[in-house]
Structure 1
Amino acid sequence: MNIITLTAEHAEAYRELRLEALLDNPDAFITTYEQEKQQPNPINSTAENLDSKDTSTVGLFNKERLVGVATLTQEKHPKFAHKGSILALYVTSSFRNQGVAELLIQKVIEGAKDLEIEVLHIAVVTNNTPAIQLYEKIGFQVYGTEHRAIKLKDRYLDEYWMELFI
């Protein structure tokens, strides 16, 4: 397995995995599968996002197949530039419980250190016990709960806000 920073050339593989993520784990993402499918020029916009200077996305490949991703963003305002967030973490189901998510997060942490980020934030729905346990294993701690953070058709989801000082 190989972890690399994704670029525009990985847009099709990323898009395929993103659609899978939205179908398989809809509660874990704000964007819905339907919204993502309706995006005009999806490969072009995905390529632009992967080449953006505002984010960095790492991906883990098993042979030629992209099986996991995680995105790092850094706050832009100078007084907040010491903070970053991990977004869009996803590992395909057949590669879960094999340490892939932890490897991706560790790679993001390395990238954050290179950017002189001092604290990383991540949000996770409160009923996603495996993700919470993973983040706690890495050293993240809950610093707040946002009640009714996500509104679905028939219910709300709460989110924990977690932080890691690096």
Structure 2
Amino acid sequence: MKTRKLTAADAEAYWELRLLALQDHPDAFSTSYEDAIKQEDPIGRVKGNLESPDAETYGIFKEGKIAGNATLRYETPVKLRHRADLVGVYLAPEIRGKGYGKMLITKMFQAARGRDGIEKINLAVADTNPAARHVYEQAGFKPFGVEEKALKMGDTYISEIHMTLVLEDDK
């Protein structure tokens, strides 16, 4: 397994994995599969996101094919520039439960440390995804709040657990 920063050249492969993620775990993302496929020029939008100076997306590759990804979005307001948000984390079913989630999160820590001024990383995880929560807790993230009814799918509500990790405390 190899991890690396994604570039605009990875946009189509990333988009395919993103659509899989939205179908595989609809409760874990604020975007629905139905909304995603309706987007105009999704590949162009993904290319723009992958080239943004305010975010970094890393992929994990199995046999040369992207099998997981995670994004760090960096805050831009002056008072928030010390923070990053970990979003869009997904591992394909065939690589789950083998330590690759931790490997990808470790890569995200390295990326955050490589950016001037980043002191903490925040994330939100659906309460319906205890496996992901466990990976984040093992990596050192601590819960700091729960947003009840954060997402709504039909008549079902999903709460999100908000977690944070202060980088100098994650040793």
CA shift, 1:63, in A, is 2.0
Q: How does 1:130-141 map to 2 (within 5 A)?
A: 130-141=131-142
Query: What corresponds to 1:164 in structure 2?
Result: 165
User: How far apart are the structure 2 equivalents of 1:149 and 1:42?
Assistant: 25
Match of 2:154, SS state, is: coil
Secondary structure of 2:79's counterpart equals: coil
Q: Which segments of 5 or more consecutive residues in structure 1 lack a partner in the other structure? A: none
Matches within 5 A, 1:22-101: 22-101=22-101
Extract structure 1 runs of 4+ deviating beyond 3 A.
none
Superposed displacement of residue 12, structure 1: 0.8
In the alignment, the residues of structure 2 paired with residue 52 and residue 165 of structure 1 have an alpha-carbon distance, to the nearest angstrom, of 24
Give the count of matched residue pairs. Answer: 166
Alignment partners' CA distance in 1, 2:126 and 2:11 = 27
Counterparts of 1:33 and 1:127, CA distance in 2: 18
RMSD: 0.9
- Cα deviation for residue 33 of structure 1 reads 0.6
Query: What SS does the aligned partner of 2:84 have?
Result: strand
Could you say what secondary structure the match of 2:138 adopts?
helix
The Cα shift of 1:127 comes to: 2.4
Counterparts of 1:100 and 1:13, CA distance in 2: 19
Output the TM-score relative to the length of structure 2.
Answer: 0.94
Give the whole-Å Cα distance in 1 for the aligned partners of 2:127 and 2:46.
Answer: 29
Corresponding position of 1:124: 125
Once residues 144 and 59 of structure 1 are traced to their aligned partners in structure 2, the CA distance between those partners, rounded to angstroms, is 28
SS in 2 for 1:79: helix
Deviation per CA, 1:23-63, whole angstroms, max 9, x where unpaired?
Answer: 11000001011111111112111111111111100001112
Could you list the per-position Cα deviations for residues 109-141 of structure 1 after superposition, in whole angstroms to 9, with x for gaps in the alignment? 111111131111010111211111111101001
CA distance in 2 between counterparts of 1:23 and 1:127 reads: 15
With 117-126 and 41-50 compared, the bigger mean Cα shift is at 41-50
Equivalent-residue separation in structure 2 for 1:24 and 1:126 (angstroms): 16
Partner of 1:12: 12
Please name the residue that 1:110 is paired with.
Answer: 110
TM, length-normalised to structure 1: 0.97
SS in 2 for 1:160: strand
- Partners in 1 of 2:152 and 2:26 — Cα distance? 12
Counterparts of 1:127 and 1:63, CA distance in 2:
30
Q: Is the 8 A contact 2:61 2:68 kept in 1?
A: yes
CA distance in structure 1 between the aligned counterparts of 2:84 and 2:65, rounded to whole angstroms? 28
